[in-house]
Amino acid sequence: MKKAIVYGFLLLIILSITIFISLKMFISLVNIIGFGSALISAFLMKTFIRRSELNVASTDKGDREERRLGMMIGIFGAPFLVTSIIFLIT
């Protein structure tokens, strides 16, 4: 999980070069990556399934791997979400 957040920060730093080209493009890219990764993470972690349909006690290995992948994608997108919120506030 440490690698996912490090990769997220590294990509954010690399994308920050686009500030010199266009600030609007940078904000758009950060929003797309941040909210896209949050949405994909929510689908993989089965957040949108009603509790009565989801039985966490009897999950198989595939479901656990999907939730783990969803967590990694969410952690990867966390720096982008924080940056989006900072730009939204200022």
Question: Could you read off the pLDDT of 28-83 as tens digits, one per residue?
Answer: 999 999 999 999 998 888 777 766 555 656 667 777 788 889 999 999 999 999 99
Give the integer Cα–Cα distance in Å for 22 and 12: 15
- Could you tell me which of 8, 72, 64, 5 has the C-alpha nearest to residue 40? 72
pTM recorded for the entire structure:
0.81
Residue 88 has pLDDT above 70, yes or no: yes
Residue 68 parent element (H or E): helix 61-89
Nearest to 31 by CA among 50, 12, 10, 59: 12
